[in-house]
Chain A
Amino acid sequence: MDGAINTLHEFMLHTENITYILVVISLVGITAFWRFLTDRDEE
């Protein structure tokens, strides 16, 4: 496959693939960021 996008299905498959990976990274990232933001709250 040369990576060209010819149909709506290919476009959706391509963008959704990347978006799902981004969302998983974001969920992990925002959890880590929340811990970073609040871990000194109890002091």
Chain B
Amino acid sequence: MADESGAKRSPLLTPFNMIAGIIVLIGLIITAIRFTGGLAAVTNLSDNNPWGIWIGFDLLVGVALAAGGYVTSAAVYLFGMKRYHSAVRPAILTGFLGYALVVIALNYDVGRFWRLPYPFIMQQGTTSLLFEVAACVALYLTVLFLEFSPAALEWLGLKRLRNLIVKLTILLTIFGVILSTLHQSSLGALFLIAPSKLHPLWYSPYLPVYFFVTSIVAGLSMVIFESTLSGRYFGDKMDDVHKEEANHVALGFGKAASLVLAGYFIVKMVGISTANTWHYLNSGYGLWFLVEMLGFVALPCFLYAIGVRDKNVKLIKWTSALTVFGIILNRLNISLIAFNWHLPSSERYFPSLMEIGISVFLVTLGILAFRFIVTHMPIFYEHPDYTDAH
């Protein structure tokens, strides 16, 4: 458990801090260029490729990997799986930071950040998917902030406000699950408008279903993956309950992820069957599709199952990393790699170094914020004043 009073102050000039500092410095310089020179100054975006990695990676991957918040809180507070309670706060924190970074990343793409509230006050109608995504992300970020706030309020010593928000837990969880169901699927639905641009193996009328189902897999795997990294780098901040429950969380979430991956594999095959796109499998894109489906869906599904059967937590942890990579690959395939597949290679999009720089910058900001919060607030341990609160 963390002992703030007795903890030694760690040196400032560690390799991690220096690398993070350089990344942040470069990120700030690119940010200045982006907001003074426009998109053309820093990106390879064009009329053919208006969405680059700031949407494909920062937004689509960011939202999917931040799904651990609603998945874990639903499991614990709605389905009554109290044995996973210690995973809630880290998952909510990851989700909150993930969504916050998604909104920041969106500002880089949209540009005029003071127009962020425009979907709510100046728009042509509420039937737009982008309106739905904007509304859900804005509301869900607020929900995640409120769900995360008890940890910050315990740290600040604001007991009454903290107790008030804790009473809203069930309501916030239900709201979070509804909002996540809506916008996770709507992000997939955004691509329904482009059947001629997205490769037939990835395009499907079921895209919203695919995005929602994979968000559950992403959430479950991300909780295991994040818990593994936290145990390694922030083990000294964890109390005994967190350490004891970590293996139960890995086994339980690994089993759920295995079953959901099996279901996802089935609905993907049904999607190919109803669209009759089998013949595309015998092509370069088909081979790439099989790599994604067999290497990053079927294989982790099987490895999770073996890990659960053998109670092999180490295998489950490695599989979670494989699955997280698979989710990243899936979102990049849909938004970038299999998108505009018919265009000649000279017209295809590849991100500029500065686009990649901003994505690395935002991930680094997330890691730094996560580190600050878990070293100061009761995320991996229960605050001594609230030990009976759960």
Q: Which residues of A contact B (CB under 8 A)?
A: 5, 11, 14-16, 18-19, 22-23, 26, 29-30, 33-34, 36-40
Contacts and interface: CB of A to CB of B under 8 A. Distances in A.
A11 B73 CA distance: 44
B273 interface: yes
Interface of B is mostly: helix
Give me the 4 closest cross-chain CB pairs, A-B, nearest first: A26-B266, A19-B273, A15-B276, A18-B273
Contact of A37 (B258, B269, B270, B274): B258
Contacts of A37: 255, 258-259, 305, 308-309
Nearest to B301: A33
B263 interface: yes
A14 B308 CA distance: 39
A33 B255 CA distance: 11
Given A14-B276, A33-B262, A23 B270 contact: yes
B116 interface: no
Contacts of B259: 33-34, 37
Contacts of A11: 276
Contacts of A18: 273
A26 B272 CA distance: 14
Interface residues of B, number: 15
Given A19-B270, A37-B255, 19 more contacts: A5-B276, A15-B274, A16-B274, A19-B274, A22-B266, A22-B269, A22-B273, A23-B270, A26-B266, A26-B269, A26-B270, A29-B266, A30-B263, A33-B262, A33-B305, A36-B305, A37-B259, A37-B308, A40-B309
B303 to A, nearest CB: 12
A36 B276 CA distance: 31
B36 to A, nearest CB: 53
A14, A23, A33, A39 — most chain B CB neighbours (10 Å): A33
B298 to A, nearest CB: 11
A34 B275 CA distance: 28
Interface in B253-304: 255, 258-259, 262-263, 266, 269-270, 273-276
A22 B270 CA distance: 7
